[in-house]
Structure 1
Amino acid sequence: MVTEAEFRGEIGKRAVRVANCSGAHGDPGFQMPRQLELGSVDFVTGDYLAEMNLAENATAYREGQHPGYEQTALDGLVESIDLIHKTGAKVVINGGSLNPAGLAEKCRELICSREYSLKLAYVSGDDLLEQVQNELKSGPDHIPDHLDATNAQVKLDHLTKSFVTDVEHRQLVSANAYLGARAIVKALKSGADIVICGRVADASPVIGAAWYWHSWSDTDYDRLAGALIAGHLIECSAYVTGANYTGFDELDMDALIDIGFPIAEIAHDGTCVISKHEKTKGLVSKDTVECQFLYELQGTAYLNSDVTALLDDVMIEQCSHNRVRVSGIRGQPPPSTTKLAIFYQGGFRSEFLLNATGYATDEKWDLYEAQIRYGVEQRGLQNQLDVLEFQRVGRPESNAPTQLRSTTYMRVFGQAAAKETLINLYKVIREYGMQHFSGAHRSLDLRTALPRPYVAYYPAIVPQDQLKESAIILHADGTVEKQIDAGHPPSYQDIPARKSYGPVSQIDMDSLGPTTTVCLGDVALGRSGDKGANINIGLFVRDEGAWSWFASFMTISRMTQLIGDDWSDDFFIERVEFPNIYAVHFVIYGILGRGVTSTARLDCLGKGFADFIRGRHVEVPLSILEHAKRFRFAQKKNVC
């Protein structure tokens, strides 16, 4: 085993190597020992929590039917404990979820069974359910502010507003604040080898590792901001090494099977190099890193409990094969508030899937929707349903050689406060079941049509100074050695107004010569994701020669046009540019309704939105298209 003195002897003398082993609760436990086996790392971090994880398990946990922590996190620790002891690498993960103390206890038992001297800690203070419940007993005036409430141009979904006005009758499921890295640093300074967290922000384990390693102060804002972006880049595991990559079709398929997970090498100045272990599959390129950089941003300022990262001048450069350097990040004090994810019982939902094949599909769906809407009106359900949508999924292939390639489906999606309302909706569907259009057929599984309870999402903010974040250091027997108050940031700044602007420099489009109609994806890569009720999307071209055209072309009005029939005047769009990486970034407010578990959209996390936009037809100058073709060919040479 590497001693603490030996470990600390390296601190600050070189970049810290932080490996990621998980980006969601589905990433298997064996990814943790892989990161320890395949090469030298100083830390292994893991992000096991999407916004819905805690809510999905909260009720079962409080009823004693779920352990509260993520099982794959425990699996990883079980499979890695010998390697942690042998290598001296430290582990910081948020797999504790609703019950970090419970996962810490399981880990303690594991350590004792091996008779290792590893020190264990966990972080507390994110669970604010009892506090929020008590505040809401006083009425809607005491509900925390919505995350987007400060933006006067954003129209909150009407169901979000109903939660605020009717909050006394809502049953809360969970309320967890997004913590920073302060308690993690306190635990590491106290000698912890393994730190178990609950709902810390996604990048906090990486920030904590770099902050501790380099002995930064809590006002080293440029350095902390750099670590924040390093954490942002690797916290989604394979998303930066080839997964969810819009340029995947340029690569050999074999390179994307069993992708290696990433490593961030974070220097003392906060700059980082993103890499992966040698001989693992996947790809770390300027493009894969840029795609992940643009994922789930909110513009040019990235807010975190410890620091505000300013991204305007970001630089992303290929150093060598599978090594990409990220620099240009500046930091400022954090905001005085942090995100608070509140989930509550939203009622019930159901969905019914029906298939249509071949000829006159549009007319078939017109008839079916008219039939069901008539039945809904006859039963007087229209005012009892919170949501009723008839979503047409796909279009039949012309002259399809198989029936499946000629088949599309309709998703009838309903939400209501009362279970009986959705039972009556299903009765309507059954009543008209034999009045169907020609060739209608359904799947054999009708369970999705039966009402199921769902939890709805209310993203809020909470003052950081109200939080009681702690690092709890454990003795080998499980008793508390000490509980360390994490404290609060030394200073705050007001949340900066979000930037939004048109093209910085507009060019004459006619000067670029003749155009042709192609998919936008033929010239631009990108990434999209969700932030509550909103979708963010970043799109970029690959060389400076195409940038002036692209920045001029991708306006707010263009994005509105590309959204097409999905556009609503209730939405609001912000636009910014990242000129050093040839990217334009948009936030579309309100497009996901209430977001996450309560949205009616099939793509509830907005992950497919970028590919929808890239699939739209646009007019592109032939000269720009030639640039794009050269880069697509060159990309094939960069894969292992």
Structure 2
Amino acid sequence: MVLRVANCSGFYGDRLSAAREMVEGGPIDVLTGDWLAELTMLILAGNRLKGRPGYAPTFLRQLEDVLGPCLDRGIRIVTNAGGLDPAGCAEAVHELAGRLGLAPSVAHVTGDDLTGREFPLVNADTGEHLTATPLTANAYLGGRPIAAALSAGADVVVTGRVTDAALVTGPGIWRYGWGPDDLDPLAGSVVAGHVIECGCQATGGNYAFFQDVPDLAHCGFPIAELRADGSSVITKHPGTGGLVSVGTVTAQLVYELGGPRYLGPDVVARFDTITLSGDGPDRVLISGVRGEPPPDTLKVAVNYLGGYRNTMTLVLTGLDVPAKARVAEEAIWARIPRESFDSVDVTLTDSGLLRITVMSADERTAGRAFSSAVVETGLASYPGFYGLSPPGNASPYGVYWPVLVPASEVRPRVFLNGEEIPLPAAAASEHATSLPAPAARAQAAPLAAPVVEVQAAGARSAEPVTTIPLGRIAGARSGDKGGNANLGVWTDTEARYTWLAAHLTVETLKRLLPGLAPYHVDRHDLPNLKALNFVVHGLLGRGVAASPRMDPQAKALGEELRARPVDVPTSLAPPATPAAPPP
């Protein structure tokens, strides 16, 4: 017996037809969707200030397509689309159902919203104390309130801020009756949830080896066939595009990851115990996951208004591009002093884009005063001057601030059709046990080039090397975790992983990507996945909404690394592609 949990959304704005595709494409038991990135909470807060819903209305559009068929087939629907207003979202579900002539039981989960409550606002990453007033403050709840709602008969469960994996863990608890001490099954469900939470990223989307993915334009969304022991098979509906392979699953496992101990409110999942194996075409078995008791704290995502920002982009072409950039800056700061702003970021890209971002508590200073000053230089700047940005007003930006609070101070509540239902003790108060600090991971020393020493048959020998882009033998996926970025790198054979683990030290990473040099970087080894994960602390500043980077979520960091040339033992390099014959 398996519980088939299907995903139909990886972010607020994902494919609207996905819910219908998942319901019509084959048998499923639970339809889930993830709408809440850390940035989304800030977007919803802005919507609420403008009188718009504090939940994700696109969920209702998807639900309109599938609510009737789900009720007919007994498919439960679990979503975090409730955002900042799960009660309002649940009411909207009832209104939609009434228009469709349906009468589902709808539950919503609250208790995550800590806005207005007194608790220490100490940044969990930096140790800084926040003095500003939070706009939002939401604790990451676990899966037990979801399980309680399903057990009470809910056809649709709407939550606010829960962990992404809770959308799978909750249904697993409901179906299999796992208690707080069933740590390994809980950990397995967390891993399954982590794989499918981002939709098509588990089925070939954004995959490093995208050339291997068939029909990516019609990529199918993922399904986790969850078993009672916590193991699962990741798959997709037959006949859909995309690919489920050990590689695509590995890519998602190292996405937005820190160390091997993946902390959550239900369990700590040990990512260094995961075993992946093929289970047929487009089927990957996840097994062997071990769990530990969860920490006695919960993470709280706090957002506050940081001020106003504006960006102007100029194009530099032809000769002497760096000198032209200096002339452009001098002309701009002569009209509005750089010191007028709280923060200034100037980036000159390899393609000749000069991107200037300013931030200020004063809306006018960051707005027209800045953008007009840039435009005024148009006939008194470098040759070939033109810009990509018209003069415009500043826009408000938010700052993400992660905080830890005692789990005992957060009380989830579940309402079914507007009436509160009692929760089992394990669901009302998160099971909590203090955990030891993770052990430090030793860093391997870099190998010398151009000859690499490799271990073979118990003896060391020198082998010729071939210079190729790292991406020819390694995949990568990167992303954001608040103000930090993660960069996961994996390969496909034990021999290649042995080389990768020895070669790609933190020092080598900074040499290949010089922009990371100022930042503290941690490396975590995952030999069971043939993978390494790097956490770059502070690369994204105060989070996605406040980051001045062109790539504020560090999505391209992995591909930048894969393009860098490295010296690889010739035996590990892929076969050379024959040169095309002359015409």
The 3 A distance-change label for structure 1 pair 454 and 357 is same
Q: Report if the CA contact (8 A) 1:499-1:575 is conserved.
A: no
Corresponding residue for residue 613 of structure 1? 561
The superposition leaves residues 74-123 of structure 1 with CA deviations (integer Å, 9 ceiling, x where unpaired) of 11111111111111110100011111111111211233444545321110
User: Which amino acid is 2:421 matched to?
Assistant: K
Q: Report if the CA contact (8 A) 1:311-1:328 is conserved.
A: no
Q: Does 1:355 align with 2:315?
A: yes
Q: Report if the CA contact (8 A) 1:472-1:484 is conserved.
A: no
Corresponding residue for residue 7 of structure 1? none
Q: Does 1:366 align with 2:326?
A: yes
Q: Report if the CA contact (8 A) 1:473-1:483 is conserved.
A: no
Matched residue SS, 2:8: strand
* Larger relative contact order, structure 1 or 2 (CA cutoff 8 Å, min sep 6): 1
**Cα distance in structure 2, aligned partners of 1:626 and 1:242:** 21
Corresponding residue for residue 45 of structure 2? 58
Q: Does 1:232 align with 2:194?
A: yes
Q: Report if the CA contact (8 A) 1:42-1:90 is conserved.
A: yes
Corresponding residue for residue 567 of structure 1? 516
Superposed counterparts of 1:205-604, under 5 Å = 205-251=167-213, 255-376=215-336, 379=337, 381-382=338-339, 384-395=340-351, 408-422=352-366, 423-443=368-388, 445-447=389-391, 449-474=392-417, 479-480=418-419, 482=421, 484=423, 486-494=427-435, 496-497=437-438, 499-503=440-444, 508-509=453-454, 511-564=461-514, 566-569=515-518, 571-604=519-552
**Cα distance in structure 1, aligned partners of 2:446 and 2:485:** 26
Matched residue SS, 1:363: helix
How many residues get paired? 566
Superposed counterparts of 1:30-69, under 5 Å = 30-62=17-49, 65-69=51-55
User: Which amino acid is 1:557 matched to?
Assistant: E
User: Which amino acid is 1:452 matched to?
Assistant: S
Q: Report if the CA contact (8 A) 2:34-2:198 is conserved.
A: yes
Q: Quick check: 511-520 or 608-617, which moved more? A: 511-520
Distance apart, 1:370 and its partner CA: 3.6
Corresponding residue for residue 89 of structure 2? 103
Unaligned runs of 5+ in 2: 455-459, 579-583
**Cα distance in structure 1, aligned partners of 2:462 and 2:286:** 32
Matched residue SS, 1:304: coil
Match of 1:624 among 572, 575, 578: 572
**Cα distance in structure 2, aligned partners of 1:351 and 1:490:** 46
Corresponding residue for residue 193 of structure 1? 155
Corresponding residue for residue 146 of structure 1? 123
The structure richer in helix per residue is 1
The superposition leaves residues 439-484 of structure 1 with CA deviations (integer Å, 9 ceiling, x where unpaired) of 11123x515x53111111111112111112011111xxxx426354
User: Which amino acid is 2:222 matched to?
Assistant: P
Unaligned runs of 5+ in 1: 1-13, 136-141, 150-155, 396-407, 631-640
**Cα distance in structure 1, aligned partners of 2:348 and 2:235:** 42
The 3 A distance-change label for structure 1 pair 278 and 353 is same
The superposition leaves residues 169-193 of structure 1 with CA deviations (integer Å, 9 ceiling, x where unpaired) of x342211111111110111111111
**Cα distance in structure 2, aligned partners of 1:336 and 1:240:** 31
Q: Report if the CA contact (8 A) 2:141-2:163 is conserved.
A: yes
Q: Does 1:25 align with 2:12?
A: yes
Q: Report if the CA contact (8 A) 1:33-1:83 is conserved.
A: no
Distance apart, 1:495 and its partner CA: 5.8
The 3 A distance-change label for structure 1 pair 529 and 481 is closer
Distance apart, 1:369 and its partner CA: 2.7
Q: Report if the CA contact (8 A) 1:29-1:79 is conserved.
A: no
Corresponding residue for residue 56 of structure 2? 70
Distance apart, 1:367 and its partner CA: 2.5
**Cα distance in structure 2, aligned partners of 1:504 and 1:123:** 49
**Cα distance in structure 1, aligned partners of 2:144 and 2:550:** 38
The 3 A distance-change label for structure 1 pair 503 and 273 is farther
Q: Report if the CA contact (8 A) 1:234-1:262 is conserved.
A: yes
**Cα distance in structure 2, aligned partners of 1:208 and 1:312:** 23
Q: Report if the CA contact (8 A) 2:213-2:242 is conserved.
A: no
The 3 A distance-change label for structure 1 pair 57 and 110 is closer
Distance apart, 1:61 and its partner CA: 1.3
Q: Report if the CA contact (8 A) 2:488-2:532 is conserved.
A: yes
**Cα distance in structure 1, aligned partners of 2:420 and 2:401:** 37
Distance apart, 1:427 and its partner CA: 4.2
Q: Report if the CA contact (8 A) 2:293-2:435 is conserved.
A: no
Matched residue SS, 1:626: coil
**Cα distance in structure 1, aligned partners of 2:79 and 2:41:** 15
The 3 A distance-change label for structure 1 pair 250 and 33 is closer
Q: Let me know the Cα RMSD of the aligned residues.
A: 2.2
Distance apart, 1:230 and its partner CA: 0.2
Q: Does 1:181 align with 2:130?
A: no
Distance apart, 1:547 and its partner CA: 1.9
The 3 A distance-change label for structure 1 pair 512 and 122 is farther
Q: Report if the CA contact (8 A) 2:201-2:252 is conserved.
A: yes
User: Which amino acid is 2:358 matched to?
Assistant: G
**Cα distance in structure 2, aligned partners of 1:439 and 1:226:** 58
Distance apart, 1:501 and its partner CA: 2.3
The superposition leaves residues 549-592 of structure 1 with CA deviations (integer Å, 9 ceiling, x where unpaired) of 1111011111121221x1343x2111121112211111111111
User: Which amino acid is 1:426 matched to?
Assistant: S
Q: Report if the CA contact (8 A) 1:69-1:96 is conserved.
A: yes
TM-score, length of structure 2 as denominator length: 0.92
Q: Quick check: 108-117 or 210-219, which moved more? A: 108-117
The superposition leaves residues 340-359 of structure 1 with CA deviations (integer Å, 9 ceiling, x where unpaired) of 11111101100001112233
Distance apart, 1:305 and its partner CA: 0.7
The superposition leaves residues 566-624 of structure 1 with CA deviations (integer Å, 9 ceiling, x where unpaired) of 1343x211112111221111111111111111111111111111011111122222211
**Cα distance in structure 2, aligned partners of 1:365 and 1:519:** 30
Corresponding residue for residue 581 of structure 2? none
The 3 A distance-change label for structure 1 pair 109 and 500 is same
Q: Quick check: 595-604 or 346-355, which moved more? A: 595-604
Distance apart, 1:300 and its partner CA: 0.5
**Cα distance in structure 2, aligned partners of 1:537 and 1:28:** 26
The superposition leaves residues 241-279 of structure 1 with CA deviations (integer Å, 9 ceiling, x where unpaired) of 011111113445xx1102100000111111111000000
The 3 A distance-change label for structure 1 pair 215 and 589 is same
Corresponding residue for residue 93 of structure 1? 79
User: Which amino acid is 1:511 matched to?
Assistant: S
User: Which amino acid is 2:107 matched to?
Assistant: A
**Cα distance in structure 1, aligned partners of 2:575 and 2:502:** 17
Distance apart, 1:195 and its partner CA: 0.4
Q: Report if the CA contact (8 A) 2:203-2:221 is conserved.
A: yes
**Cα distance in structure 2, aligned partners of 1:190 and 1:341:** 29
Determine what percentage of the aligned residue pairs are the same residue. 34
Distance apart, 1:500 and its partner CA: 3.1
